[in-house]
Amino acid sequence: MANHELLAARLTAQRLSGPQTRDVVETTRHLLAVQGQDPRGARLALRARTSGTHVSDVDRALTAERSLVITWVNRGTLHLIAAEDEALLHLLTTPQLRRANERRLAQEGVSEAAAERGVAALVTALAEHGMMNRRELRDVLDRADVPTAGQALVHVLFRATLDGLIVRGPVVEGEHAFVLVADWLGERPKLERTSALAELARRYLAGHGPALEQDLANWASLPLRDVRAALASIARELEMRPDGLVDLRRREVAALPPPKLLGPFDPVLHGWKRREFVLGDAVGVVTTNGIFRPVVLVDGRAVGTWTMPDGRVRMSLWEDLPEDVSAALERESAAVEEYLSAR
């Protein structure tokens, strides 16, 4: 597949090109999982893929509607997902994270007995008090004599999430609070693994195709044998390309998007093992310590980075741009500022 065609197809799948809706939940479901360790980045990812929305729409979905949650899935990183997809992603992408969690707990001085005691204390506290923030949950673990220094607190919370007990739900005073899955989302539906894998493959390709089977394996932390079985089960829905890329059949590809500002950790940099189709030979967008910087996108490719230190967008471009493109980026900067503004 030619580079331009691949770029256009993937940006269409990502909802960066083509028709957009005002529905932040539907857009999240389309992407399946949005990198969420940077709260502003997750919200900016939805801004770039919806029309006429405001950051408050995301907070309302998280808090009042309970239709979005943030939780550890896929590669062991926090992701923003639709509440109705929590069961699917928890089933398929969290079991393989347990060994790393056990290792990190041990490194942080949390024994298995202490981890179990901590999870039980968290569940009891959340059942009694409802939503609680990290500071309050740290106090709960301290009272239970469970280590919380360094990264210990995070990995005890991670353990409770892997056990299927807690998620990050509502936004309270600007901070994501933790809640019990049973209280916030209700009883988790029971899913059959084979059909769940097929659904995962179908949904991943909807938001990321064309892709290699290795891309899905990496994105969801799944072994290749599971990915191959999943793709084989929906083979009639797929277009298998000579270069090994796979996509859903009968997909229309839109023109490249107008100039856009993408936030930190944008999904277009996380959906595939390789990022050259967007970044080219750019360096510094992905740092050695795993930070994904916000990028300026022109004709579907990164042409710079941007920051927002004082509530105003500041761009650092790698090349001179035509006047009309610069004007479009100024309008885009204003749109970002308005999206994040208080209401």
Q: Is residue 213 assigned to a domain?
A: no
Identify whether 53 is part of a domain: yes
Judgement on whether residues 137 and 277 belong to the same structural domain of the protein: no
Model confidence at 1, pLDDT cuts 50, 70, 90, reads low
Query: What are phi and psi for residue 342, nearest 5 degrees?
Result: -70, 145
* Residue after which a domain boundary falls, among 158, 184, 210: 184
- Domain limit, last residue, from 162, 184, 206: 184
Predicted confidence at residue 250, as pLDDT, reads 84
Q: Of 168, 184, 200, which residue sits at a domain end?
A: 184
Give the separation between CA 258 and CA 86, rounded to whole angstroms.
33
Give Cβ neighbours of residue 162 (< 8 Å, ≥ 6 apart). 72, 94, 95, 97, 98, 101
Instruction: Please write the tens of the pLDDT for every residue from 258-304.
Output: 999 999 999 999 999 999 999 999 988 998 788 999 999 999 999 99
Range of the domain at 145: 3-184
User: 169-183 in b/e burial notation, b at 16+ Cβ within 10 A?
Assistant: bbbeeeebbbbbbee
304 lies in some domain:
yes
Give SS3 for 163: coil
pLDDT digits (tens, 9 = 90+) for 198-216: 999 999 999 999 999 999 9
Asked if residue 193 is part of any domain, the answer here is no
CA–CA distance, 337 with 343 (Å, rounded to integer): 12
Across the range 31-53, mean pLDDT stands at 97
The pair of structure tokens assigned to 305 is: 């980075």
In total, how many domains does the chain have?
A: 2
Instruction: Say whether both 119 and 13 belong to one domain.
Output: yes
Between strands 68-73 and 77-82, the pairing is: antiparallel
- Per-residue pLDDT reduced to its tens digit, 62-90: 999 999 999 999 999 999 999 999 999 99
